Amino acid sequence: MDTAGRVALVTGGSGGIGAAVVRRLAADGYSVGVHYARNNLTADRVVADAAAAGGHGLAVGGDVGDEADMAAAFDAVETAFGGIDVVVNAAGIMLLGPIAELSLADLDRMHHTNIRGTFVVSQQAARRIRPGGAIINFSTTVTRTQYPGYGAYVASKAAVEGMTLILARELKGRNITVNAVAPGPTATALFLDGKDDATITRLAEAPPLERLGEPGDIAETVAFLAGPGRWVNGQVVFANGGLA
């Protein structure tokens, strides 16, 4: 597929896996809307990275769970670049704790960003993406490994998987693919925060490839689904080094 001239919007694009996705798509010639929730300076740096990689970037802010904010973000990208071909739902938060002890406020925060946010963005994407486009959501390998302490987070990502598989079928006839990527342990601030060295080492040694994933590893999978992977649709793709 010739990806030059295509347009993407990446939520959570100002850091972590989202920023790696922006850079990777820009290297393929995409113009990319780089979404941020709070830190526009970080988003501006990723926009500069996109230009250096050979693409174009535009920082767009807002709460992914707010319909008006996301409609405005989509409007800005369409106005700047003429339309949207790919939407990557990389925005997410992870708050851990046993189900018996987790704060319901933390549960509600994850629901707002991970479930409602994915739904709001997917809704806008389903209305606006051009034929030949792709929607790529984010799940997690922990839906299969089922580590204690991840119950609320996994519940939010299992909901994302369900939305993904149904939306793929609802868009039948539009030539739009809808998939989810489920990373394993990946060296991002989201993953590393709150973990001691022993825990990080144990998780790094768990996959057969015996290392943590890097954001660029996940970005390669996203780039495939966004561009040449047109026969992959309605799937959850595990990018985890063989963990499970």
The token pair at 182 is 């489920």
Q: Report the C-alpha gap between 119 and 96 in whole angstroms.
A: 22
Residue 124 bridge partners (DSSP): none
Give the active site residue among 30, 36, 150, 153. 153
153 is catalytic: yes
Q: Which residues contact 102 (CB under 8 A, 6 or more apart)?
A: 95, 151, 152
Q: Are 161 and 180 in contact (CB under 8 A)?
A: yes
Q: Report the C-alpha gap between 77 and 34 in whole angstroms.
A: 9
Q: Residues 65, 191, 20, CA angle at the centre, nearest 5°? A: 70
Q: Report the C-alpha gap between 14 and 20 in whole angstroms.
A: 9
The token pair at 216 is 């660029």
Q: Report the C-alpha gap between 115 and 98 in whole angstroms.
A: 20
Q: 239: how many CB neighbours lie within 10 A of its CB? A: 19
Residues designated as active site:
153
